[in-house]
Structure 1
Amino acid sequence: MATFDSRQTISKFPWNARQAWLLKFEAAVAFHALEMSQQISDEIGKPREEAYVTELMPLIAAIRWHRNRARNILRTQRMGGRPWWMIGRSLQVSRVPLGRVLIIATWNYPVGLLGVQLLQALVAGNVVVVKPSERSPRSQAQLLNIAQACGLPNDVLTVLDSSPQAGRDALEEGGFDHVMFTGGTATGRAVAAHCAETLTSSTLELSGQDSAFVLEDANMIKAAKSIWMACTMNAGQTCMAPRRVFVQRSGYRKFLEALAPHVAGAKPLQLIDHSAAQRCEDLARQAVASGGRSLSAVIDGARAGCLRPLAIVDCPVGANLVAGNYFGPVLAVVPVDDFEQAIGFHRQHAHHLAASVFTRDTNRISRDCELSGRLGVSVITLNDCVLPTAHPALSIAGFAQSGWGTSRGVEGLLQLTRAVATTTTANWLPVSDIPTAKIVQGLSKFIQWMSHAKPVAWKNQSVNTPQNRTRATQEMAKRPLNELSK
């Protein structure tokens, strides 16, 4: 269990020093961006140009966003709304660092994801320990070396070995105030179990097996291109990319016509390993055996970790492919009667990070305040997939089997701090006495007048309390069985 004194970090890395570091860090990352993109390409097979656009550009934008806004987000705030009976007292809320933060990094966006997590943890004033991914150690070492060279104080950033054992050892040793993990749900559960032993808070961004919804009024050409790009970006190894797309039947044929050229022209993509590619192929073949069909009419076998992207259309909603438990460039296309049916199918699955909706009536969707709750996601993109989520102010929060906690944006930055409330009572204000019955009676009348108090009638039986549930059970037990069946 950590016993962290936030003054240690704040004194070593005060705001002026953090601002200077952010300025240097942005300049250095921008200068080395193409070189870093090439390193990513060499290490995990992502094309250099794609690495630059999907990782380095968003990271540079995030650094600048924090440089311009973080201090204001984390400033001490005087809180308004004081009740009249608290005259002479004021309240302010400050944000202080959590302490010692462990980041267990992932490989699929080795610089983009780790870069923002590192950035936010440091800007919030924490001491940071990073366990790089064993699959992308060189790319992440390059990023961490640049961060250190831009003026981080000693002992503010520590880098562990990239082996899986190093992560397990760090969790076993403990001493952290917060743990950030990005990766699969199974490993996330193990991380959560370790954190639970010491009541250490955590941010778990786990598997996303997300949905796209194409409504009948959508621009089918735009929808097909956007969804296919998201499906194949980073060889389908993107947590917020759609695994399944629900298309209204009235627009289904047009959508398939728009999607077909993209699928036909797809070239084999390199996945992180052969087992990932083989699982994608196996699930696609199972879906075809269950009644689906490959839009390109063929399914090429996975070879040496490579797989030609696939769209399995007319996919049975019960197929394992629709569940989305894979990491690669395969898309399940499911026809639906309407949006409500699509949401129902979507809710059968427990991994939700983001959802995409394609429609011309964007106002109707954006005004539906209940939609995000029904979809169980923290991000909804209208008429696009994935790319809009690169906005540095956008936060991502796992839900259900996709984890918990928030990263990126305002909420992600705040999560790496804790709130401290400080009240000040004026010297002239006397210490309050315990109120008398007469004073309480007078206060009650005054508050009722202020609140326009009105009586309300209720029945105790309608309140869903444990006592009432027990009473109802007892009464039911006394009734004959023939009455209970009525």
Structure 2
Amino acid sequence: MRQHDTLFIGGDWVAPAGTATIDVVSPHTEEVVGRVPEGTAADMDRAVAAARQAFDHGPWPRMTMAERAAVVARLADLYEARQEEMAEIITEEMGSPIAFSKMAQVPQPLGFLRYYAELGREFAVEEDRPGTFGPVTVRREPVGVVAAIVPWNVPQFVIMTKLAPALVAGCTVVVKPAPETPLDSYLLAELIKEAGLPEGVVSIVPAGREAGEHLVSHPGVDKVAFTGSTAAGRRIASICGEQLKRVSLELGGKSAAIILDDCDLASAMGFLSIASLMNNGQACVAQTRILASRSRYDEVVDAVAAMVRSMPVGDPADPATGIGPLVAQRQQERVENYIRIGIDEGAKPVVGGLERPYGRGWYVAPTVFAGATNEMRIAREEIFGPVLAVIPYEDEADAIRIANDSDYGLAGTVWTADAEHGMEVARQVRTGTYGVNLFMLEPCAPFGGFKSSGIGREMGPEGLASYLEYKSIARMG
């Protein structure tokens, strides 16, 4: 069992203020596989004080961006050397199939470190512009102390979309991992300490909702970067709005995959399986609404059903597993309740249903619903599990209308033999990220959502800009 009895605060391992602990339970075996201290409000106060001291008086924000980028590059080298261990920890604590952990859960965070280290080497912090009476210097300065609050589904991915650009910008950061997945953050803390970041620049404090809200509302925090549910995002936005505190929110999704009539279904299904069911369906960008024309509807249903049946359900540590367990029993119960709702609404499960594939572990049978409509709850609400609804459309305009008929706008795809025409469809769907014949998040491109999917963007130069304040300095002569 992985056991820790300290917290990483101010760049060092310190005793927690309280005595409560967090048990990390394997979603495959239902056994405790780790234990860490549960951070308290007092621990958050200490972490913010360290971050405040480091930002207001320490060397980190006063280094050049290129100097900070070099430190982040060193962290990337250390991270790369331990990436297999990191993937194994994530699979153990939250059930992501090890193949997905090694393909995405860890390589993508490493890619963010590399990307921002490179961007920071050449980024122009100051720019001169001609003014009325003389030159104007537009300067970019770090926003300050950042509270980074991350979920359990892709813990390192989400930490790095915040930590990597914040560090390059010159911010100091307090990370609050989710209580379901604190173990990977301990390995990250080891690497941060080894990389030699100055005292106070990064603290990592696993904690529950109460301590997390204390961190969000702390007067010493200048910006909150949150990824999680839309409901929690609304609460955080209200707190930050009261305090006029900078905030970025990456929230839920209910994304649509539009299958056009010229699509080669056989070749599309391999990519669609990742776009729809990555990480056991526990992904905010998952394409869980499959839109098919009435003329090919039955054919698409059969293809999606065959695709899902081809993904082995089992032990997430087995490289052959396509779909593992859900993170917690409450998540298993939530997803099964949505399957019941779908059946009650009149949709038909052509694959899966309510029979559990294992006697133990928090598994749900991957389920494909036929006969679904976009008005059903299974098509409107984020389920966060391996449940797909195939929805018919009349023509292309109707498909785009259905894709846009959602409270969310985070991701989406179109599948077609004509990629140029796919771009025309992409331009009409109101969503922050989109794919033509694949779905991919690129470190160089902004990620975020329209509507209830969030506020702001992460990744790309836009992600760095969200940790910078603009200052204009006019002068005469």
Identify the residue that residue 379 of structure 1 maps to in structure 2.
433
Q: Does 1:23 align with 2:23?
A: no
Higher relative contact order (CA 8 A, sep 6+): 2
Q: Paired residue for 1:216?
A: 261
Deviations 1:255-311 (A, max 9, x none): 233223222334443001223223323323332343322223754248642112111
Specify the code of the residue in structure 1 equivalent to 2:468: T
> Displacement of 1:74 after TM fit?
4.2
1:331-367 C-alpha deviation (Å, 9 max, x unpaired): 0001111121122223332112111111122213425
Structure 2 CA distance for aligned equivalents of residues 51 and 186 of structure 1? 27
Q: Which has the higher helix share?
A: 1
TM-score by length of 2: 0.81
* Structure 1 residue 36 corresponds to structure 2 residue 86: yes
Does 2:102 correspond to 1:47?
no
1: CA distance, partners of 2:210 / 2:336:
31
User: 2:61 touches 2:170 (CA, 8 Å); kept in 1?
Assistant: no
Equivalent residue, structure 2, for 1:360: 417
Give the drift of 1:28.
0.6
Residues 213, 160 of structure 1: alpha-carbon distance in 2 compared, 3 angstrom cutoff: same
**Distance in 1 between the 2:269 and 2:66 partners?**
48
Give the distance between the partners of 1:297 and 1:327, measured in 2 at CA.
Answer: 16
For residue 203 of structure 1, report the CA deviation from its aligned partner: 0.5
**Structure 1 residue 201, shift from structure 2 partner:** 1.1
Sequence identity percentage: 26
Kindly indicate whether residue 405 of structure 2 is the aligned counterpart of residue 348 of structure 1.
yes
Alignment partner of 2:379 out of 322, 335, 348: 322
- Which of residues 338, 341, 348 in structure 2 aligns to 1:283? 338
Matched, 1:163 2:208: yes
2: CA distance between counterparts of 1:235 and 1:27? 29
TM-score (norm 1): 0.79
Report the counterpart of residue 112 of structure 1 in structure 2. 157
Write the distance in 1 (CA, Å) between the matches of 2:209 and 2:243. 21
Distance 2:191 2:278 in 1: 27
Shift of 1:11: 5.4
Are 1:421 and 2:476 an aligned pair? Answer: no
Partners of 1:416 and 1:167 lie apart in 2 by 20
Q: Is the 8 A contact 1:267 1:308 kept in 2?
A: no
Within a 5 Å distance, the mapping from 1:91-170 to structure 2 comes to 91-170=136-215
Aligned to 1:447: none
Counterparts of 1:224-263 in structure 2, within 5 Å, are 224-263=269-308
Q: Structure 2: which amino acid aligns with 1:210? A: S
Whole-Å separation in 2 of the counterparts to 1:205 and 1:257: 34
Query: Quick one: structure 1 residues 420 and 263, their matched pair in 2 at CA, closer, same or farther if it must change by over 3 Å?
Result: same
Rate the CA distance shift 1:398–1:11 in 2: closer, same or farther, 3 A: closer
For residue 100 of structure 1, report the CA deviation from its aligned partner.
0.8
| Deviation at residue 12 of structure 1 after TM alignment | 5.3
Contact 1:160 1:166 in 2 (8 A): no
- Is 2:323 the partner of 1:272? no
Structure 1 residues 260 and 105, CA gap change in structure 2 (3 angstroms): closer
Structure 2 CA distance for aligned equivalents of residues 226 and 383 of structure 1: 8
Secondary structure at the aligned position of 2:374 is classed as coil
Structure number with greater Rg is: 1
Give secondary structure in 2 for the equivalent of 1:282: helix
Distance in 1 (alpha carbons) for counterparts of 2:233 and 2:68: 31
What number of residue pairs does the alignment pair up?
A: 415
Residue 411 of structure 1, aligned match among 462, 466, 476: 462
